[in-house]
Structure formats: C-alpha cells, structure tokens
Amino acid sequence: MESERNEALRTRMKPNVSELLGSRETMFKELSNEFEQWLILIHREQMKKWQEEIKELRLVDASNEEASALLNNARFLLQNPIFDS
C-alpha cells in the first residue's frame, strides 16, 4: 500500500520535475545569451574608447615630432652660427 502511494506520487511528480528541469535549462540558455550580449557590448564600447585614445595619441605624437624637429633645427643653428660678411 505504501509503495503504491509512493509510485503514484512519483508518477504525478515526474512531469513536474521534467518541466522544472526543462524550464531551468531554458532559463539558463536565456541568461547565458544575455550575458554574452552584455560582454559583446562592453567589448565594443571598450574598443571604441581605445580607438579614440589611439587617435589622440597619434595627434600628440605628430605634434611632438614637429616640436622635436623645430628644436633640432634651432640647436643646429645655435651650434653652427652663420656669419655674413
């Protein structure tokens, strides 16, 4: 009698357990997809930020190269004065 009740209970619970497992799997997949999309978004934003920083650094580098060339020319002129006669 007890085993029959247990078997009946198992029979009734089996679909519920299967449904819970299925919904858990679906929820996990959805969360996994959302997390992946979130990571992709963060990566894109970071890449965009780095690209802007690289552009700014290239501008600073070009400016520094110009200043260095001017200073080298000035140093050369100071070390090698030109005398007009």
85 pLDDT higher than 70: no
Query: Both tokens of residue 80?
Result: 């090698």
Alpha-carbon span 44 to 18, nearest angstrom = 39
Q: What is the 3-state secondary structure (H, E, C) of the chain?
A: CHHHHHHHHHHHHHHHHHHHHHHHHHHHHHHHHHHHHHHHHHHHHHHHHHHHHHHHHHHHHHHHHHHHHHHHHHHHHHHCCCCCC
pTM for the predicted model, two decimal places: 0.58
At 55-80, the pLDDT tens digits run 999 999 999 999 999 999 999 999 99
